[in-house]
Amino acid sequence: MILDEFKKHNSLHFKNDSLLEQAFIHRSFINESPRSGLEHNERLEFLGDAVLELIATEYLYSEYPNHNEGDLTAYRSALVNAVTLGEVAGALHFNDMMKLSKGEAKDVLRARSSILADAYEALVGALYLDQGYDATKEYVSRTLLVKTDEIVRKGLYRDAKSFVQEKSQELFGVTPSYKVLSEEGPDHDKIFKVGIYFGDELIGEGEGKSKQEGETVAARVALEKKGWVGS
């Protein structure tokens, strides 16, 4: 997918297309092509993370006036975590735009979910710099915040590790355990793949930038596989 097609698909308008292109450049691509003259997306991601949190917080504060701070924090966490952002970015064809090293792109040329989540934050940062807060808020509202009702209705904001432990003990009499299956990448950008087990049975796997994040993603995968989401 070329840049103009991506902008049309996402109903985006940019004055400076180079900002948008930068949002899709992973550090691994720069490491592999140091003379490309391009810059990776981590600074945009840093900015976008803050802008995204403000937009989500403002929306939740307005939309749920009778919900307490703890509930709103849980809703926000479920909205802006790597799993949700990765799913949203995947549906919006971010994969077609990513510039990755050959190693990162080895999985049938598809970026891992955490990379897509970072790219979504980077795009938010790029859009904020190029178009300002209101345009960024509009994009986040129609691509991400539309998921809020489902998250609240199905209880997807609940702590996944606690919930899967509660259900597995109730139904199977076992306490889930977690095991790091692999670690990839340099120390500053390491990805952990973690498995969740019921006894000796591997139920699901999750990836994250820390072991804790990998465990949380794995717990969510287990909840989905067992059909416990929303129960």
- Which residues are known catalytic residues? 49, 121
Position of tokens 């899967």?
164
- Angle between helix 82-91 and 69-80 (nearest 10): 50
Query: Which residues, other chains included, contact 138 with Cβ-Cβ below 8 Å and sequence gap of 6+?
Result: none
Beta strands at 191-198 and 177-184: parallel, antiparallel or unpaired:
antiparallel
- Angle between helix 211-226 and 82-91 (nearest 10): 70
Structure tokens at 41: 């997306």
3-state secondary structure 77-121: HHHHCHHHHHHHHHHCCHHHCCECCCCCCCCCCCCCHHHHHHHHH
> In angstroms, rounded to a whole number, what is the distance separating the alpha carbons of residues 166 and 31?
44
Task: Give every strand in the sheet of 201-208, ordered side by side.
Answer: 177-184, 191-198, 201-208
